[in-house]
Structure 1
Amino acid sequence: MKRNINYPFFLILATSVGLGSCSDEFLNPDPKGTLMEDTYYSNPDEAFAGLVSVYDPIGWQTAVSYINFGAANAASDDHVAGGGGPNDMETWQRWSNYTLTETQGPQQDYWDRNFTGVSRANIFIKKVEEGIPGLSDALSARYLAEAKCLRGYYYFDLVRLFRNIPFYIEPLTTDNMREQTQVAPEVVYAQIEQDLKDAIAVLPPTVPSATEGGRMTKGVAQALLGKVYLYQEKWGDAAAQFAEVNGVPGGTSQYGYKLLDNFGDIFRPDNKFHSEAILEIVCSQGGARTWDHWGQFYGNVATTMFGPRGYSGPLYYSGWSFCPITQDLYDLMLSDPRFEATIADLKSLEENGEAQYEKGYMNTGYFIQKFAPLVEFAATSGVRELNYPQDYIEMRLADTYLMEAEALIESGQGGGAGSRAYQLLNAVRDRVGLGPTEATLDNIFLERRKELATEGHRWYDLVRSGRAPAALGDRGFVAGKHEILPIPYNELLNTNLVQNEAYK
């Protein structure tokens, strides 16, 4: 069922750096963390604004360049970088063809985004723990839980992308900022686990979508903790967390999560906060943003990035032709019921005389449909390219079903008919009319590739499963090196940080 949501939402506030209730200094702390003004956090309104600033980086799409999930798409075997030429969005090109260096690649964007989030969370947590005048105990507890969940989210992104990172849970000062050293990944993972456990104990099971859509909930924190366990190969712990989120396969879980009946409805901009969405990053055309608002876009810029370049025809507006779909994924999806909701076949449209488009760099003729720049939902104010209202669902129920199935198989449980792993895998398949199959690791990862295609998960799945060298070797992927990104060059200057060994 479609739901038309009224704006603004909580997270639409959080995607804007320029909130009027706070000073620019407060909202733009140094990416590596500095103390905020001592005079801030003097009342509940300022506490809420501070919480919004902790959420803020989760919605960033622009930092040094573009930082949306398209970069990870470009690095996978399902896409090439595309765009207007080999130097267009060089950060994505370098990841796509595995010519990353410490100065060239998307790493600075990911570093800045996530360490900004960590720094803001550390400051916020300290201020709330010290006490904010007028803020009730209940709100203090909830705000702390949200901030810890967010800190866990940011640190998880950092440790899985860079592995060897500096780690701190207290606000940094100008005196000790450059004295930080990297720690073992296990140290970071231990804190992530603790933060998420603390959050789970306090966060509300659900929130009202019309007023609080996008805020952290118990279900989000448990799904994230399950994923954190999965990356550490703590299979039993991962399966237990996912079971709490997923409930009975095909049914409605304790948090109200349920697979949608129609696969295509998952991605419609007029169907926000539906029952399948777990972690949803809010986008809106309500801000009427222009190019003057770099770093403060409300809309989903990935929509324009993925659209066909110089397009004329029905359904779509033109885009910038990034992340064209490979022939391999096209062939895999062609007979799958999810094909039309996943792939925009511009090649066939042109061959049938229904449309024309400019052939961008590394064009295949196949583009991303799930985030296509549809005429139906285009903004009528501001710069159209910057204001598409489609949310990015970073975690959804089919994803957690398949992760639980994987964890169960890895923990030694069977995947034959009647097993829980079998039920989870085949609930995803049954939704789109596919018959049952045994829950093996190969079948689960194949289903993930098809179900979650173009949503930014494929590269991470290849890396964590050890499948990346075989799938990406012809692109230049080197085992033992390209599973992580290099530490950004600027972070090595006048600090104690050292480059990841393979990039030295």
Structure 2
Amino acid sequence: MKSKYIIYTGAILLGVGALASCKKSFLELTPQGQFLQSNYYANPAQALTAVVAAYDPLVTETGGIDNTYSSPLGALNAASDDCFAGGGSSSDVPAWQAINNYTLSPTVGPQNQFWAINFQGVNRADVLLEQLPAVPGLSADLLKRYTAEGQFLRAHYYFDLVRLFKNVPLILSTLNLTNVYDQPQATPDAVYAQIEKDLLAAIDGLPVTIIPAENGRVSQGAAKALLGKVYLYEKKWSDAARLLNDVNTNYSYKLLPNYGDIFSTKNKFNSESIFELVHSGTQSYTWSNWDQFKSNVYVQMVGPRSYTGPIYYSGGYGFSPVTTQLATAMKGDPRYGYTVVNIDSLTKATKTSYSPSYQNTGYFIQKYAPINANKVTTGITELNWPNDYIEIRLADTYLMEAEADLNGGGSTARAQTLLDAVRSRVGLPSVPATLDNIYIERRLELATEGHRWFDLVRWGQAPTALAFKGFKAGLNEILPIPLNETTNGSKVKQNPGYN
């Protein structure tokens, strides 16, 4: 099984972007079949299709080594103090239960999906970067842009891998069955150095702005934002502050006046969005499309089970119930109603009902809720939610720059201005620009958006904040490597403590 995930050169599942209409984005994919890599890059149109294929793992909603449902948000929220795993029972989506309870093992946990999806992305980027220079008829401008996109994507996939696993092979060329097992893990420093190298190389080749028909493709600002974030994780404070300041001041991004508008399906690619992952509600998916979904199935997952009221489309599957810790922290904050919904109170007030899920708290995620306003009529509704996921947005980069300034001896006044901007947008008064206040603000501003677990780990706060879930210091800061990747003569070694 190992070769399926590290090597993906035999045949690549490709899709084409809907470029003809501004109503559809570049990454609303229509599967086009399988093409042999050895004879596929024959013209510029095929090169563009390969670019789309390299983006594709970013929005994969299913799949992995065991072909169970996969969503990065589900696992990351369950790992944090924002949410529990939830679902129908303690055995519903075992990978999420394992990271929720910190009972991870090499065979049980979300590591199978994280490893598979990201290495699939690495391989597609590697193939793209190898093949592009030889594509007949590809103009110099397109070669430059497509190469930059491949470099950004490889860096993105490796950033996830090194944060999640720390010890991963560094694969920069396509492999075959004779050498796939011979790839040792690189040092984290070497992986981070390659991520920096790819992003620095990508920046100049990317456009400053993205036209509507190409929404979902990476821009120069997004590459700088990701590089600034990488520097932040490496504690290269001055570099992080410099790059993030560039993003925050020299591009056209703006905080939206209304916080709730950030997450509206009618407001995709808004002025606050720096890097947004596209989900389509027009693909007419049915259960026969398993492992193909580019809609946001996580939306269905987080709705209350068997809900009978007028607000949510027939409920959901009861995953990711919000913890009482987060609900308590947010009460009184203007962002509460856009982030959390109290279904217990709602059903009592409206004389409706729902079925409590496993680990039910009565609180559910509002940002990605399956509300009637977003319901589509194509295919099976629960498999075709159109909600995008904004992976990097301006309030996030504001707070990262402020954090870098304070840690690196930069401008306290600048940090104060950035913190004030995030708070004043929602009508909150100024508080001193301290690291503790920035940590608090990140939680409240970005709650349930998948950042919290990474933040707790990099701040060294995870052992305390996640003690109630069973987090073990010195072990659970990284995930176990999937068992199949460490057997059959592989040079990949299991992470410490997970043998």
Q: TM-score, normalised by structure 1?
A: 0.92
Farther-moved stretch of structure 1 (348-357 vs 492-501): 348-357
Q: Which residue of 1 aligns with 2:28?
A: 12
Residue in 2 that maps onto 1:102: 106
Deviation at 1:390, TM superposition (A): 0.8
2:397 partner amino acid:
T
Per-residue deviation, 1:264: 0.4
Q: For 2:266, what is the secondary structure of its paired residue?
A: coil
Question: What is the one-letter code of the residue matched to 1:241?
Answer: L
Q: Distance in 2 between matches of 1:72 and 1:410?
A: 26
Q: 1:71 and 1:38 mapped to 2: Cα distance?
A: 36
Question: 1:139 maps to what in 2?
Answer: 142
Q: Does 1:188 align with 2:188?
A: no
SS of 2:254's partner is: coil
Other structure's SS at 2:137 match? coil
Q: How is 1:302-341 mapped onto 2 (pairs within 5 angstroms)? A: 302-317=298-313, 318-341=315-338
1:27-66 alignment to 2 at 5 Å?
37-63=37-63, 64-65=67-68, 66=70
- What letter corresponds to residue 462 of structure 1 in structure 2? L
RMSD of equivalent CA atoms: 1.2
**Structure 2: which amino acid aligns with 1:448?**
R
Alignment of 1:41-440 (within 5 A): 41-63=41-63, 64-65=67-68, 66-129=70-133, 131-209=134-212, 211-247=213-249, 254-317=250-313, 318-413=315-410, 415=412, 419-440=413-434
* Residue equivalent to 1:32: none
Distance in structure 2 (CA, Å) of the matches to 1:239 and 1:95: 32
How far apart, CA to CA, are the structure 2 residues paired with 1:461 and 1:269? 27
Answer yes or no: is the 8 Å Cα contact 2:89–2:357 preserved in 1.
Answer: yes
TM-score, structure 2 length as denominator? 0.93
Residue type of the alignment partner of 2:85: A
Q: Distance in 1 between matches of 2:37 and 2:397?
A: 40
Cα deviation, 1:454-498, whole Å, max 9, x if unaligned, reads 111111110010000000112110111100100000111221111
Count residues in correspondence.
Answer: 473
**How far apart in 2 are the matches of 1:316 and 1:354?**
14
Deviation sequence 1:265-286 (CA, Å, 0-9, x none): 0000011100000110111111
Q: Is the 8 A contact 2:60 2:294 kept in 1?
A: no
Question: Using the alignment, how far apart are the partners of 1:420 and 1:275 within structure 2?
Answer: 21
State the shift of 1:331 in Å: 1.1
Secondary structure of the residue that 1:115 maps to in structure 2? helix
Kindly provide the amino acid, as one letter, of the partner of residue 171 in structure 1.
Answer: T
Letter in 2 for 1:260: L
Amino acid across the alignment from 1:357: Y
Amino acid at match of 1:266: I
Q: CA deviation at 1:393?
A: 0.5
- Aligned to 2:377, the other structure's residue is in SS state coil
CA–CA separation in structure 1 for the residues paired with 2:416 and 2:451:
22
- Alignment-mate amino acid for residue 214 of structure 1: G
Name the SS for the 1:503 alignment partner: coil
Q: Hey, what's the Cα distance between the residues in 1 that align with 2:241 and 2:54?
A: 29
Is 1:461 the counterpart of 2:455? The answer is yes
Other-structure match for 1:450: 444
2:491 to 471, 493, 496: 496
Letter aligned with residue 331 of structure 1: T
Shift of 1:177: 0.8
Q: How much does 1:245 deviate?
A: 0.6
Name the aligned partner's letter for residue 84 of structure 1.
G
- 1:7 deviates by 3.8
Cα distance in 2, alignment partners of residues 68 and 269 from structure 1: 20
Alpha-carbon distance in 2 for matches of 1:320, 1:220: 33
Give the Cα–Cα distance (whole angstroms) in 2 for the partners of residues 464 and 46 of structure 1.
Answer: 41
327-336 vs 36-45, which deviates more? 36-45
Give the distance between the partners of 1:47 and 1:255, measured in 2 at CA.
29
- Mean Cα deviation higher: 293-302 or 441-450: 293-302
Amino acid at match of 1:321: G
* Residue number in structure 2 paired with 1:485: 479
SS of residue matched to 2:106: coil
Identify the residue that residue 250 of structure 1 maps to in structure 2. Answer: none
Counterparts of 1:493 and 1:379, CA distance in 2 = 45
SS at match of 1:101: coil
Question: Secondary structure in 1 aligned to 2:209?
Answer: coil
Report SS of the residue matched to 2:341: strand
Cα distance in 1 between the residues matched to 2:394 and 2:96: 28
Render the CA deviation track for 1:169-225: whole Å, top value 9, x for unaligned: 11112211111000100001101001000111111111112x000101100100000
Q: Larger deviation: 391-400 or 59-68?
A: 59-68
* 2:365 counterpart letter in structure 1: I
**1:77-133 CA distance string (max 9 Å, x none):** 11111100000011000000000000000001000100000001111101113x210
Q: Percent identity?
A: 51
Alignment partners' CA distance in 1, 2:114 and 2:306? 30
- Tell me the secondary structure at the aligned position of residue 125 of structure 2: helix
1:389-435, Cα deviation, whole Å (9 max, x unpaired): 110001100000000000000002353xxx00000011000000000
2:17 aligned partner = none
**2:3 paired residue number:** none
- Show CA shifts across 1:360-411 (max 9, x none): 1010000000100010110112111111111000110000000000000000
Q: What is the deviation of 1:351?
A: 2.5
Q: Give the aligned residue type for 1:379.
A: V
Secondary structure, counterpart of 1:280 in structure 2: strand
- Conserved? CA contact 2:238–2:410, under 8 Å: no
Letter in 2 for 1:37: Q
Kindly indicate whether the alpha-carbon contact (under 8 Å) linking 1:314 and 1:354 is maintained by their aligned counterparts in 2.
no
Secondary structure at the aligned position of 2:391 is classed as strand
Supply the distance in 2 between the matched residues of 1:201 and 1:194 (Cα, whole angstroms): 13
CA contact (8 A) 1:279 1:393 kept: yes
Looking at structure 2, the residues matched to 307 and 329 of structure 1 have their Cα atoms a distance apart, in angstroms, of: 18
